[in-house]
Structure 1
């Protein structure tokens, strides 16, 4: 039965069982004991497993070495679901101690399957939101990587930090303004739109765009920002017309 088809009491019991299995795997250094929950077809079972790892890391300092060893070993699995869960577990740890899991992310960026790579994006988002300094420093190293998908994944991954603190990621985004890959440029424009509609963020984004040299990207970004203020009108700080009027002060020739 799927996780969310269970009653609340049954779900609590399942989560506790998974936590116990993970603890047992760590205690006896028998990491295969965690394979069932890490490879489960139900994404919520896998989520319970990686959340358990994060909580154990915080509460059991004596297991830190065993946890990292387990994740590094399981990242070699042929099952992409296990590798995906490993990345998500590393993301929970990276919220407080990114340096301990940096190698896992360096490997995950190049995973052959899209699911672990998507987990890297999601993990960068959640780590960057609360532990930005080491995460953004690491991300910056990949902004000019030869692989276009790596550049795109990093661009997408740093987005969440920018929704509250756009000034933290705008200098990194600027490094991609002349990227020659359409898929990377589209992600860049998307991220600029996503970080501009929250309270106080539009001014920061627009001011920074004044320093960009790629006029076409700036034009596309401004169009996306205006459109986002309509699409997310129930969540944006300004109405679409207010955003358009504000942008037109700095970029009158680009606003129709």
Structure 2
């Protein structure tokens, strides 16, 4: 039975069981006790596994080194689901302790399968939201990487922090304004739109865009911002027309 086919209380009980069994496996350095959950076909069982790793890491400090040892072993598994789940587990740890897990993301960025690479994006998002200083400093190193997919993934990964604190990521986004790769450029425009519709964010984004010198990209980004206010009209602070008027009044295209 799939995780979400269970009743709420049964899901909680299963998560507790998974956590207990993973804790026991870590204590004995038994990879098999962890991998059984990291290979599960059910996404939510794997999620319960990596959430358990994160909780155990901070609740039982004596197991921290063992957890890192096991995750290092599992990162070389052939099954992409295992590598994906390892990176997600590292992301849970990196919310508070980034330095000890950053090598998982450095390797995951170059994984041959898209799922672990997507896990890196998701991890950057969740870590960057609550532990931005080391995560954004690390991400900045890859903004001009020769691989366009790396640049795109980093751009996408820093988005979530920008939804509350656009000023933290706008300097990084600015570095990508002259990227000639369409996928990177499109992601950049998308991210600018995503960080502009939340409360108090539009003014910060528009003011920052005034200092960018790629005028065509800026115009495309402003159009995306206006469009986002329609697509996300149930969540945006301003209406589409209010966003349009704000841009007209406050953006001076010189």
Distance 2:13 2:249 in 1: 58
Counterpart residue number, 2:71: 71
SS in 2 for 1:50: helix
State the TM-score, normalizing by the size of structure 2. 0.98
Q: How many Å separate the matches in 1 of 2:40 and 2:30?
A: 18
* 1:220 lines up with 2:220 in the alignment: yes
Cα displacement (A) at 1:17: 1.8
Give the root-mean-square deviation of aligned CA atoms.
Answer: 1.1
> Please, which runs of 5 or more residues in structure 2 have no aligned partner?
none
CA distance in 2, matches of 1:32, 1:213: 54
Contact between 2:50 and 2:92, CA under 8 Å: does it hold in 1?
A: yes
Rounded to whole Å, the distance in 1 between the matches of 2:34 and 2:165 is 37
In the TM superposition, residue 58 of structure 1 has moved relative to its aligned partner by 1.0
TM-aligned CA deviation for residue 20 of structure 1: 1.7
- Corresponding residue number in structure 2 for 1:146: 146
Tell me which residue corresponds to 1:47.
47
Question: Counterpart of 2:157?
Answer: 157
- How many angstroms does 1:14 deviate by? 1.5
Tell me the equivalent position of 1:168: 168
Distance (Å, rounded) in 2 between the aligned partners of 1:93 and 1:106: 15
**How much has 1:220 moved relative to structure 2?**
0.6
TM-aligned CA deviation for residue 67 of structure 1: 0.7
Give the deviation of 1:8 after TM superposition.
2.2
Instruction: Tell me which residue corresponds to 1:129.
Output: 129
- Residues 1:75 and 1:238: Cα distance change in structure 2 (over 3 Å): same
Aligned length: 254
- Please state how far the C-alpha of 1:168 moved relative to its aligned partner: 0.1
Alignment of 1:18-57 (within 5 A): 18-57=18-57
- Supply the distance in 1 between the matched residues of 2:35 and 2:222 (Cα, whole angstroms): 47
Q: How does 1:223-238 map to 2 (within 5 A)?
A: 223-238=223-238
Residue range with higher mean Cα deviation, 2-11 or 54-63: 2-11
SS at match of 2:97: helix
Question: 1 CA distance for matches of 2:53 and 2:71?
Answer: 10
SS in 1 for 2:4: helix
- Offset of 1:30 from its aligned partner? 1.2
Q: When the two structures are superposed, what TM-score results if normalisation uses the length of structure 1?
A: 0.97
Distance 2:238 2:214 in 1: 26
Structure 1 residues 111-166: Cα deviation after superposition (integer angstroms, max 9, x where no partner): 10000100100110000000000000000000000000000000000000000000
> Paired residue for 1:87?
87
Aligned residue number for residue 102 of structure 2: 102
Give the whole-Å Cα distance in 1 for the aligned partners of 2:210 and 2:7.
54
SS in 2 for 1:212: coil
Structure 1 gaps of 5+ residues are none
